[in-house]
Structure 1
Amino acid sequence: MIELIPMDDKQYTEFYHLSTTDYAAEKVAAGEWTEEEAMDRAAESFQKYLPNGADTEGAFIYSVFDTEQQKSIGHVWMNITDTPKGKQAFLYDILIYDGNQNKGYGQETMKALDELAIQQGAVRIGLHVFGHNQRALHVYQKSGYVITDYQMSKAL
């Protein structure tokens, strides 16, 4: 069983480093950014969405903790904002660490995020998935997410 546990400062620093590095690599793999600019642009993006780090209002940043093994197996970051259509949650990052994947933790974590969003009054939860990340797309679809739009490109 998993539990979502708020991060302490040390965990947040580790999350920030891992998440910005991963985001930069995903943007490069998607052909959106060059390797040279990727880390700076990832840091700018995080500053935009987490201006006060873990203390940013509406941000929910947690360690995914396996209660049976008594260890952290991943992390998640979700923001919840008020909109004219009600509170909306957006999942910015979910990562189940290497060695813990393909064990059902992703599905359990998605269920826990649904519960958290509902507790916070959210009426909808959204996310973005890179087109090349078929593993994540599969987990999201199994969790009940549907594709709401496509963004496509073609190299010339």
Structure 2
Amino acid sequence: MTVTLLPMTQDDFAHYTSKSIQSYASEKVEAGTWTKEEAPEKSEKEFERLLPEGLDSEYQNLFAITKVDNDKKVGWLWYHFKPENPQKEAFIYDFLIFDEYQGQGYGKAALKALDDYALANGIEKISLHVFAHNKRAIHLYEKLNYEAKDLIMSKWLNEE
């Protein structure tokens, strides 16, 4: 299975942000970071802060993960890279394989395509954040040699 990373179109971006803002809000609630009431607004503001010019936002790279054999979109990938970064580090802000394509190797193929693309564009390190409750993603990242570099742990005092 082969995928390629194609720059998002304006239509892709509109579809991506409408779904991803909601998804990010839900993830932050599940992680216990935000309340259900505040999450939608905070999520929207975070996207506006990071993507103030939409697809043309400086140092932001947004892609449609696309099957090579039929140009079918199977997911989204968004990373930040500032060439002046002394570690030549890119940071993945969002990575999603659509539900109907999960568990079929597209995630692994997309991250390998990103590795190749990154190396060709002067990137030497890729980092990301993953919610601790997303065991499936953690497993994928570990299989591809991502390592935990920082952990934040919490507990609810009223749940003991």
> What is the TM-score with the length of structure 2 in the denominator?
0.93
Q: What percentage of residue pairs aligned between the two structures are identical? A: 39
For residues 33-112 of structure 1, what are the structure 2 equivalents within 5 Å? 33-82=34-83, 85-112=86-113
Residue aligned with 1:24, SS: helix
* 1:135 alignment counterpart: 136
Runs of 4 or more above 6 Å deviation: none
**1:11-68 deviation line (CA, Å, top 9, x unaligned):** 1000111111111000000011111111110111111211111111211101111122
Residue aligned with 1:77, SS: strand
Higher strand share: 1
Return 5+ residue gaps in structure 1 as ranges: none
* 1:10 alignment counterpart: 11
Query: 2: CA distance between counterparts of 1:14 and 1:119?
Result: 28
> What is the TM-score with the length of structure 1 in the denominator?
0.95
Over the aligned positions, Cα root-mean-square deviation in angstroms equals 1.2
- 1:120 aligned onto 2:129: no
Deviation at 1:85, TM superposition (A): 2.5
* 1:154 alignment counterpart: 155
- Relative to structure 1, the CA distance from residue 104 to residue 84 in structure 2 (aligned partners, 3 Å threshold; closer, same or farther) is closer
